[in-house]
Amino acid sequence: MRILEALRTGENRLTKRMASWDSVWARGLLPQVEDAAENTKLWWAAAALMAAGGGWRGRRAAAAGIAGMAVAQVLANGVAKQLVERRRPPKEWFPHEEVEERPDSSSFPSGHTAAAVAFTAAVTPSWPWAGAACAVPTVLVAIERVHDGAHYPSDVAAGAAIGLAAAALARATPRLLVRRLG
C-alpha cells in the first residue's frame, strides 16, 4: 500500500506541475494541438496527405495508420473506459480555462493518446519518415492531455500502451488472415 500511495502522490505532483506550466509556447501551441486532435481530425488529415502525395508507400502508411487508430479507439474508448471509472484531475489544480472544456467520461485511459500513438506506430514501418513527422504531434497530444486537465500522466501512459498494442494488432491482422485463409 505504501508503494501505491507513493506512486499516487508522485503522479499528483507531476500533474500539478504540468498544469502550472505557463510558457508562451504552451499557451499558444497546446490549445491548437487539442483542437486538431479532437475527433482524430489531425490523423485523418495526415492520412489524406500521405495517401495523396506519398504514392504507394503513402497509401499503405495511411491505411495502416487509420486501421491502427480505429483499433485503438475501440480498445480505449469502447472497452477500457467502460471497465475503469476514474475521475478527472481536480479542476482547482488547473489555472487556465481549458479545464472547463474537458470530457465527462472516465479519465482512464487517454483515448486521444491511444489514437495518436496507434496512428504513428502503425505508419512508421511502412514509411519511417512519415512516422517520424507524426511523432512530434503525437508527443504534443500526450503533453496537452495532462496540461489541460483532461488526464493524469498514468492515463496518458496507458493510452500510449493501448496505442502500441492497437498498431501491432492492426498491422498483424491482415498477415494472419492471409495465412489462415491461404
Instruction: Write the pLDDT tens digit of every residue in 70-95.
Output: 999 999 999 999 999 999 998 888 87
The rounded percent of the chain whose pLDDT value lies above 70 is: 92
pLDDT digits (tens, 9 = 90+) for 30-85: 888 888 888 899 999 999 999 999 999 999 999 999 999 999 999 999 999 999 99
Sign of CA dihedral 26, 8, 93, 145: positive
Model confidence at 132, pLDDT cuts 50, 70, 90, reads very high
Rounded CA-CA distance 170/168 in Å is 6
The domain total for the chain is 1
Whole-number pLDDT of residue 176: 57
Give yes or no for a contact between 102 and 148, defined as CB atoms under 8 angstroms apart.
Answer: yes
Q: How far is CA 181 from the centre of its chain?
A: 33
Give me the helices (H) in 74-151, please: 81-83, 111-123, 128-147
CATH of the domain at 121: 1.20.144
Which residue range is the domain that position 32 belongs to?
2-181
